[in-house]
Amino acid sequence: MNTAQRCQYVTVRQDLIHEIIDDSFLSQASEVEVTEKVFVPGEDHTTELAEVEESIAYHMSNLKPGGRFHAPALRKQAEGSLESLSKEFERLSALPQRPDRWDEIPTGKTYGQVWPGMDWDERGKLLRHLGVKVEWSATNSNVPIVHLDWPEDVKKKIKSYSMEQAA
């Protein structure tokens, strides 16, 4: 009786996997434009506005009868400061308030243009950067079945490009 067991692992040539990934990636994304994510800092002036409001309140309360600025020279100086503070409050209030964000800036190149010039280390980094998962399984014929699992945002770009081309 033969008790030897066959190895359950299958060897697949790397160049064959690469060829299938090339074909799959380029067939789906070759015409999609490459973009770069750029951080755009937001604007928030609430702290500055609060400081100006606090200074305005201080000057207003001290300009009242019995306040610190009862002497004519001090009163005139405080009124001048209050006018400057009021202008600064208006300027700050007019500035935009927006949160930090990431913008995608088109590079003017498609994945079909940049992919061929990349080595496999760079292609792997690109796939990871895009969030693409490469899944494969071997078959009896040693020709692997390869599937690229695309994240939703990349799927939308591919679909958007496909719809533009159909129009």
Q: Sorting pLDDT into bands at 50, 70 and 90, what band is 166?
A: low
pLDDT digits (tens, 9 = 90+) for 81-95: 999 999 999 999 999
Q: Which two tokens stand for residue 93?
A: 């209030």
- Spell out the long-range contacts of 52-55 with Cβ–Cβ below 8 A and sequence spacing 24 or more: 52/85, 52/88, 52/89, 52/92, 53/89, 55/81, 55/85
Res 96: pLDDT: 93
Rounded Cα distance between 37 and 35, Å, is 7
- Residues in the chain, how many? 167
pLDDT digits (tens, 9 = 90+) for 109-139: 999 999 999 999 999 999 998 999 988 877 7
